[in-house]
Amino acid sequence: MSNTATIDSMEEFLAHALALEYESVERYDELADVMEVHNNTELEELFRKLAGFGRLHAGEVESHAADMSLPEILPWEFKWSDVEAPETGDSGETHYLMTAMQALRFASKNEIAGRDFYQSVADTSASRQVRDLAAEFSAEESEHVAMLDDLISITEEDRPDWADDPDPPHMPE
Ligand code: ZN
């Protein structure tokens, strides 16, 4: 859909926010599972933490929506420009061999996209209530972005050839 469409009703906004948070949680859980299988405990914990933030946020959205009936929004009707929700990233960019820095950048990009989505609603919605809540959500996503920025600043740069295995396993003859 066009990203110039505005979200003017609370129901429509909450439906978007729920979809965004649930998709984000799903993606982070998947990544955490992959990291667990490959014994990358550090990244597993990071992705579980991010999934946890998404769950908290989804719960908050659910409680705002408690007395409303939210519209069913089909994926192609969502008012953001990508096919997937802003905070879910692109699974093609993830890899079990990804380094800490790559995982952090991936997560940061997702959180920035989520923040920008909420901020654009905060900036453009015709409804004052929607603008206020979207601004709150945008501020929460900004905290996640800042947390990731902090981690990025204390994490070492990766070597550029991270995906090349210099010593591939030999097959026995
Ligand atoms: Zn977030």
Q: How far, in Å, from the CA of 57 to the mean position of ligand 1?
A: 8
Determine the pLDDT at residue 151.
Answer: 84
Angle at 79 between CA 77 and CA 80, to 5 degrees: 115
pLDDT of residue 1: 42
Find the 13 Cα to ligand 1 centroid distance in Å: 16
**What would you report as the CA-atom Rg of the chain, rounded to the nearest whole angstrom?**
18
- d(CA 145, ligand 1 centre) in Å: 8
- Cβ contact 106:98 at 8 Å: yes
How many whole angstroms from 141 Cα to the centroid of ligand 1? 5
Q: How far is the CA of 118 from the centre of ligand 1 (A)?
A: 11
Can you give the pLDDT at residue 137?
Answer: 95
pLDDT, tens digit (0-9, with 9 covering 90-100), for 110-164:
899 899 999 999 999 999 999 999 999 999 999 999 988 988 888 776 555 445 5
CB burial of residue 101 (10 Å; 0-12, 13-18, 19+): middle
Neighbours of ion ligand 1 (CB under 5 A): 111, 141, 144
- Residue 137 Cα to ligand 1 midpoint, Å, equals 9
- Compute the distance from residue 29 Cα to the ligand 1 centre, in Å: 14
Q: How far is the CA of 162 from the centre of ligand 1 (A)?
A: 27
Tell me the pLDDT tens digit for each residue of 79-119.
665 545 565 555 555 565 667 777 788 888 889 989 999 99
Query: In Å, what is the CA distance from 60 to each residue of 7, 76, 104, 107?
Result: 19, 25, 25, 21
Given pLDDT bands bounded at 50, 70 and 90, which one contains residue 168?
A: low
User: Per residue in 17-65, pLDDT tens?
Assistant: 998 899 889 889 988 988 888 788 888 998 999 999 999 999 999 999 9
> What pLDDT is stored for residue 172 in this prediction?
59
Distance from the CA of 52 to the center of ligand 1, in angstroms? 9
The DSSP secondary structure of 21-62, one letter per residue, reads: HHHHHHHHHHHHHHHHHTT-HHHHHHHHHHHHHHHHHHHHHH
- What global pTM score does this model have? 0.77
On the question of pLDDT at 66 being above 60, the answer is yes
Task: Considering only the C-alpha atoms of the chain, give the largest distance between any 2 of them, rounded to a whole number of Å.
Answer: 71
